[in-house]
């Protein structure tokens, strides 16, 4: 299945979320190219068909570790919006940046599958409700 064929009119009626994060303030300060590439995903959302006013950038978790010791407000907000069926696609630089532990990752995958929310990164667009995409997303998370 072509990745663009996964995007439906229903997806485009909802917002696109770009989740921007890096694990430490040192990474934010010294890896500015990565931060810039993450913000550029808003342009990718536009190229995929979302209007610019539909693209939300969630960057409250920049510099916050995903170790579980710090609350990630942005991740919680993104997950809530996905669960409410308000999101057509979640974009991250690579899907492994979306969640830093398996419990959060699989909860997000389940919610995306239930609400028909796509997940996109530099390698492709995935629908967690489709068996093959879920397999790729699951294996990707296990090896990163």
Catalytic residue positions, numbered: 23
Pairing mode of beta strands 124-126, 118-121: antiparallel
Give the whole-angstrom CA distance, residue 5 versus residue 66.
33
Integer angstrom CA distances of residue 53 from 14, 39, 106: 11, 15, 29
Burial class, 130, CB count within 10 angstroms (exposed 0-12 / middle 13-18 / buried 19+) = middle
């Amino acid at each position: 299945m072509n990745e663009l064929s996964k995007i439906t009119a229903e997806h485009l009626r909802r917002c696109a979320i770009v989740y921007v994060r890096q694990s430490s303030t040192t990474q934010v300060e010294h890896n500015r190219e990565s931060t810039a590439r993450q913000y550029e995903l808003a342009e990718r959302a536009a190229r995929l068909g979302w209007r610019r006013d539909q693209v939300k950038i969630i960057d409250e978790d920049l510099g916050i570790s995903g170790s579980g010791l710090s609350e990630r407000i942005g991740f919680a907000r993104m997950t809530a919006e996905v669960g409410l069926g308000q999101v057509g696609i979640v974009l991250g630089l690579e899907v492994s940046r979306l969640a830093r532990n398996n419990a959060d990752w699989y909860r997000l995958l389940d919610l995306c599958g239930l609400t028909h929310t796509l997940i996109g990164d530099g390698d492709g667009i995935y629908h967690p409700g489709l068996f093959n995409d879920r397999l790729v997303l699951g294996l990707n998370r296990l090896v990163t």
